Every structure is written in structure tokens, then in C-alpha cells.
Structure 1
Amino acid sequence: MDKNLHAKVLLVDDEEDFIKTLSQRLEMRGLKVSAATRGEEAVGLAEKQTFDAIVIDLAMPGMDGLETLKRIKENNPDAEIIMLSGQGTVKATTEAMKLGAEDFLEKPVDMKDLLEKINELKTKRILVLQKKSMEEIEQILKTKAW
């Protein structure tokens, strides 16, 4: 994997020290990081911008990670989401996957694993966008009488 990934990532976690440290580690590797400490804030950011990957903590006060995931996916079904948890259960993992999470990683997160997942999601996102563009072009060509 390229040392500098150049992906745009949204980190969502109520632990400010965790977000600060992880943001710095990701930015040192060339990623552009935005952060939110509440689910509501993350939903708002995801409505205004697109991200190559969104990393959401499962356990947060107020709107928890599953609800945040659900709300982001309602507004942006193509959002690529990784869930994080310090106390993940099979039930929570299953629910997150049903709601559209791409993966579920345990805290403390291994940086190599996280970077690999972000790279996979960025690649997948590019392919999805290319496919949509091709479909739009095909639709335009079908409707034109040239």
C-alpha cells in the first residue's frame, strides 16, 4: 500500500483525545481528516461533504454509532463506513452490517488494519462512482436523437 493514501476521512468518536491522536496519525500518512464528537454532528458533516471513508465509534452518548450509521446511510446510501468499538458484540456487529457498515474493527485499532480498510473503501468508492458515471452517460446517449 502507498505510504500516503490521500483519502478523505470522517472520524466520529466522543473521546476527544482518541480523535485527536488518530487524526494526527492519519494526517501524517497523507489523509485529510474531519472529526465529529457527536452523532448529530457527523450526520451534518456527511450531508455537506463526501468522504472516502467514515469511521464511527459504536458507543457514544446521545445518538449512538448504530443510529449515526443509519442516519448517514439514509442520506447517502453510498457512504463507506467502518465501525469501531472497545466492547463490540456479535449482535452489534451484525446490526451494523445490516445497516450498511463495510467493516467492524476493535479498539485499540491497529493502524495498519485501519489504513488497509480505508484504502479498500476508497478503491470501492471510486469504482462505484465510475459505474454511476458510465450509467449516466449511457442514459444520456439513449435519450439523444443523434
Structure 2
Amino acid sequence: MTSVLIVDDEPMLREELQESLELEDFEVTPAESVDSALALCQSGSFDIVITDLKMPKRGGLELIAELKGRNYPARFFVVSGHGAESNREEALSLGATACFAKPLDVDDLIDVINADA
């Protein structure tokens, strides 16, 4: 079973995404911040990390950069409610597989995850 870590400071989005992915037979773990995500990544391994771009304190770019620096073997997907194209480009250059705008179309995300598998 594919394990997914969802990192987003918005509880409603985390829950919606978790429910949708679990219906598709993904094993999902939610995290509300970069710090909690990093702690979870130290204690376990995830195949996929889905992260919000902008969060309080630290954002998705920092999470990707830190995990890539550790050679963490996950695929990274970024979700952004902010239209900054440069941030999306930076996420892709750091190693994100794809970036999605909010409001998130979960079916599109699942399609891209499955196509990239």
C-alpha cells in the first residue's frame, strides 16, 4: 500500500484530502506543520509527500529542500493557494513532481499520482 504524508495547516483540506486518498487505498498520515512532518519522516517512511506551499513558520519549499537534502526517497506534490508562479517553479526545481492550485481538484491530484507511479 502506498503511504502518503499530507502537510497542510488547514484542517478541512487535510481531512478532505485524507478521506479521498483513503478511498483510493492510500495509507494516509496528516501533519499540520513542517516540523511535525519532519518528525514523522524521521520515525517512518512515506512514498508520497503532499505539502501546502505557504504555512505559518515554515512552508512546503523548506520541507522539500530539507527532505531532499536527506535523500528522502518520496515523491513530492505541492498545493498552493497563492498564485506565485515563481514559488511553483522553485518547488519543481527542488524536486517536486507537480504543483496544484487551490481549490484542489482531488481527482486531478490522484490522476497525476497514479500516472507518475
TM-score, normalised by the number of residues in structure 2 = 0.90
Unaligned ranges ≥5, structure 1: 1-5, 124-146
In 2, the alpha carbon distance for the partners of 1:117 and 1:70 equals 22
8 Å CA contact 1:9–1:55 kept in 2: the answer is yes
Paired-residue identity, %: 34
One-letter amino acid of the counterpart of residue 114, structure 2: N
Aligned-partner residue type, residue 74 of structure 2: A
Confirm whether residue 80 of structure 1 aligns to residue 68 of structure 2: no
> What residue ranges of structure 2 are gaps of 5+ in the alignment?
none
Distance 2:73 2:115 in 1: 14
Paired position in structure 2 for 1:12: 7
1:110 has 2:105 as partner: yes
Pairing partner for 1:27 from 22, 25, 28 = 22
- Residue 77 of structure 1 and its aligned partner are, at CA, apart by 4.2
Name the structure with the higher helix share: 1
Counterpart secondary structure, 1:117:
helix
Question: 1:100-138 CA deviation, whole Å, 9 max, x = no partner?
Answer: 1111011111122111222234x2xxxxxxxxxxxxxxx
Q: Out of 70, 85, 94, which is 1:99 matched to?
A: 94
- Matched-pair contact (CA < 8 Å) for 1:47–1:75: no
Deviations 1:65-118 (A, max 9, x none): 111111111123432100000113111011111111111011111122111222
Equivalent residues, number = 117
Q: Distance in 1 between matches of 2:69 and 2:42?
A: 10
Query: Which has the greater radius of gyration?
Result: 1
User: 2-side partners of 1:75 and 1:41: how far apart?
Assistant: 16
CA distance in 1, matches of 2:63, 2:12: 20
Q: Distance in 1 between matches of 2:54 and 2:19?
A: 22
The two structures, once aligned, show a CA RMSD in angstroms of 1.4
Structure with greater contact order relative to length (CA < 8 Å, sep ≥ 6): 2
TM-score by length of 1: 0.74
**Counterpart in 1 of 2:62?**
67
